[in-house]
Chain A
Amino acid sequence: MSVPFLEARGLRHTYLADTPLACESLKGADLAVEPGEVVAVVGASGSGKSTFLQHMNGILSPTHGAVFFRGRSLSDKATDLTAVRRRVGMVFQRPELQLFEQYTGDDVAYGPRLAGLAGHELGERVRWAMGLVGLDFHAFKDRLTVSLSGGERRKAALAGVLAMKPEGLLLDEPTAGLDPVSHAELVRLLAKLAAGGMTMVIATHDMEDAAALAGRLAVMSDGRVVFTGETGGVFADAGRLEELSLLPPASVSILSGLRKSGWDVPAYAASAGEAVDAIRAALEAGRAR
């Protein structure tokens, strides 16, 4: 078996350890992410998703357990954490609040500049990254970060991470709080990155996004990964969904409603488009009969 891209083994983390306010957020979480795979981490607020994600590139270090990047433990003193963080980019929750440079171009350039790029090469990298997320280089590079709209800020934050040319992305609720158009744009962009072979771990509450992007679901509850399974299989299994207290995406609810009234449609469709195709096929089959 190949070495996983990222692997968490028995992660435990306590915030404010040794204080009266100590709070155990992770209680032994395990997950292995294969190269090129997209995993959606879902679960109620407070189940430890953000904490878990922040362990995956060594921003937080576990109280027990370890994270392995391509087989190397991040807790190992010899591991160059900065290099790992460059290869596993992290987009934080509400990244628009974490743009720290004054100008958009500078903020995107932060990562590659620290990696040693300069001059023309740096400019090209920033142009490339901004192009990737759909921010026009000339129009946006000298815009004040505070003057950007919410959606633009999130794109800029993503560009800042992509500018480091990471092999993997950790995304903490990437689409939360976006308007529907920006939301759809961002999902399309992430799907494009995934198709290009980017490994991704996405923490999300949005089951539509999980269905559209992720091949596998990891369900977190009370600081543990309580279940992992193929996205389609989980959403098609009503009993399992109930057991995990998850709500399926609308496309799946529509199909399961039709199935209950006797339609011969598949139990799972990753998107509204796929559901429409399935329903149309069922209609046509019925007409032929």
Chain B
Amino acid sequence: MSFEFLRSVTFGHYIPASSPIHRIDPRVKIAAVALALAALILCRSLVLIVLALAAVLVTAACARVPIRHVLRGVGPVLPFLILLAVLQALVMPRAELGPMLIRWRWISLSAGDLVAAAALILRFSALIAAFGLFSSITGTSELAHGTELLLSPLARLGFPAHDAAMVLSIALRFVPLLAMEAEHIVKAQASRGADFGRGRGGPLARARRMLPIYVPLFLSALRRAESLALAMEARCYTGGAGRTAPAGFRIRWTDAAAFICVLAASVGLVLANRFDPDRIIILALFGAGN
């Protein structure tokens, strides 16, 4: 058992590198990841999801972000995903597509159900990978400025664009900090005889053992937020008007090209669904079933 909670947190882990993908304008990165996430959610076909996941991983490789880093967030949620997928496959027949593999009372499993279950797991993995890639190539200040610039048209209508961007970037930045804080508390409790990570008892017993961590974690998060606010005040933070960015952001043609690529891929992904490539492949493999 290791108490390194930080290891399984991929959000907010910017990996500094100087790849062309890192240099893309933050507005484009934000818009692109939003598009990609939306397209993945709308995508139902296993084949297309596999293609999309491959595209994300290839992009990660081009950005010199290790693929294991991008996929690290999948590990902790995998058990839940598998449970969901099994339930969906057994009790919610999607379509009686392909040959029926199991039929017993209310349980039925067709080749189509298996494909849908795999799609569910891979879709989630692709979502996590896409977001993991985004957070590895986007620093927090970039994220804040990008969000602010994207929201700036709304600022004219009185929307507090700058504050919203600040809140967002601080929230993301706090995720690894909270993991570290939880680590401190767990270590303090373990060194005084608490029984962490010994794997005894069922999942419920283990969850109950985590309970005493939440209250102190919450308190220390509040304390940290308070000192952060003080530190910002002390450096005369006023927010909003008059705050400048360290570097001017300008959309270059490479940014535009990157955005068009992602846009085309996302639209293509959603449109290709209409042809239902899974159905074509299953029918080609198994025939029309029974």
Taking CB atoms, residues of chain A closer than 8 Å to B7 are 16-19
Once the chains bind, are B3 and A97 in contact (CB under 8 Å)?
no
Q: How far is the CA of A138 from the CA of B193 in the complex (A)?
A: 25
- What is the size category of the interface that chain A forms with chain B? 20 to 34
Q: How far is the CA of A59 from the CA of B1 in the complex (A)?
A: 9
Q: Is B59 an interface residue (CB 8 A)?
A: no
**Of the residues B65, B68, B192, contact of A18 by C-beta under 8 Å:** B68
Once the chains bind, are B193 and A97 in contact (CB under 8 Å)?
no
Once the chains bind, are B191 and A57 in contact (CB under 8 Å)?
yes
Taking CB atoms, residues of chain A closer than 8 Å to B193 are 82, 85-86, 110-111, 114-115, 164
Taking CB atoms, residues of chain B closer than 8 Å to A18 are 7, 68
Q: Is A160 an interface residue (CB 8 A)?
A: yes
Q: Is B287 an interface residue (CB 8 A)?
A: no
**Taking CB as reference atom, which chain A residue is nearest B189?**
A100
Given contacts A59-B3, A92-B187, A100-B185, contact A20 B192 (CB under 8 A): no
Once the chains bind, are B13 and A164 in contact (CB under 8 Å)?
no
Once the chains bind, are B185 and A98 in contact (CB under 8 Å)?
yes
Q: How far is the CA of A82 from the CA of B209 in the complex (A)?
A: 15
Once the chains bind, are A97 and B220 in contact (CB under 8 Å)?
yes
Q: Is A161 an interface residue (CB 8 A)?
A: yes
Q: Is B212 an interface residue (CB 8 A)?
A: yes
Once the chains bind, are A20 and B2 in contact (CB under 8 Å)?
no
Q: Is A1 an interface residue (CB 8 A)?
A: no
Q: Is B72 an interface residue (CB 8 A)?
A: yes
Nearest CB of B to A90, in Å: 4
Q: How far is the CA of A85 from the CA of B189 in the complex (A)?
A: 10
Q: Is A61 an interface residue (CB 8 A)?
A: yes
Q: How far is the CA of A85 from the CA of B4 in the complex (A)?
A: 18
Q: Is the interface of A mostly helix, strand, loop or mixed?
A: mixed
Once the chains bind, are B192 and A160 in contact (CB under 8 Å)?
yes
Q: How far is the CA of A160 from the CA of B194 in the complex (A)?
A: 13
Q: What 1/0 mask marks residues of chain A from 94 to 135 whose CB sits below 8 Å from any chain B CB?
A: 010110100000000011001100000000000000000000
Q: Is B239 an interface residue (CB 8 A)?
A: no
Q: Is B66 an interface residue (CB 8 A)?
A: yes
Q: How far is the CA of A86 from the CA of B212 in the complex (A)?
A: 19
Given contacts A15-B4, A100-B185, contact A20 B190 (CB under 8 A): no
Once the chains bind, are B2 and A85 in contact (CB under 8 Å)?
no
Among A1-58, those with CB < 8 Å from B are 15-21, 54, 57
Q: How far is the CA of A77 from the CA of B221 in the complex (A)?
A: 35
Taking CB atoms, residues of chain B closer than 8 Å to A90 are 191
Q: Is A249 an interface residue (CB 8 A)?
A: no
Q: How far is the CA of A164 from the CA of B194 in the complex (A)?
A: 12
**Of the residues B2, B13, B188, contact of A60 by C-beta under 8 Å:** B2
Taking CB atoms, residues of chain A closer than 8 Å to B220 are 97
Nearest CB of B to A108, in Å: 10
Among A73-90, those with CB < 8 Å from B are 81-82, 85-86, 89-90
Taking CB atoms, residues of chain B closer than 8 Å to A110 are 189, 192-193
Q: How far is the CA of A161 from the CA of B187 in the complex (A)?
A: 13
Q: How far is the CA of A115 from the CA of B69 in the complex (A)?
A: 40
Once the chains bind, are A19 and B69 in contact (CB under 8 Å)?
yes
**Taking CB as reference atom, which chain B residue is nearest A113?**
B193
User: Which has the most chain B C-beta neighbours within 10 Å: A57, A81, A164?
Assistant: A81
**Taking CB as reference atom, which chain B residue is nearest A108?**
B192
Taking CB atoms, residues of chain B closer than 8 Å to A161 are 191-192
Once the chains bind, are A164 and B192 in contact (CB under 8 Å)?
yes
Q: Is B173 an interface residue (CB 8 A)?
A: no
Once the chains bind, are A92 and B188 in contact (CB under 8 Å)?
yes
**Taking CB as reference atom, which chain B residue is nearest A22?**
B7
Once the chains bind, are B68 and A54 in contact (CB under 8 Å)?
no
Among B193-221, those with CB < 8 Å from A are 193-195, 198, 212-213, 215-216, 219-220
Taking CB atoms, residues of chain A closer than 8 Å to B195 are 82, 114
Given contacts A19-B7, A92-B184, A98-B185, contact A111 B192 (CB under 8 A): yes
Given contacts A20-B69, A97-B184, contact A85 B15 (CB under 8 A): no
A–B Cβ pairs within 8 angstroms, 12 of them: A19-B66, A57-B191, A59-B3, A61-B1, A82-B193, A82-B195, A100-B189, A100-B212, A110-B193, A114-B195, A164-B192, A164-B193
A residues in contact (CB < 8 Å) with B = 15-21, 54, 57, 59-61, 81-82, 85-86, 89-90, 92, 95, 97-98, 100, 110-111, 114-115, 146, 160-161, 164
The 7 closest A-B pairs by CB, nearest first: A100-B216, A98-B188, A111-B192, A90-B191, A114-B193, A20-B15, A111-B193
For the A-B complex with A20-B65, A21-B15 known, give 9 more contacts whose Cβ atoms are closer than 8 Å. Answer: A20-B69, A21-B13, A82-B193, A85-B192, A90-B191, A92-B187, A100-B212, A114-B192, A146-B219
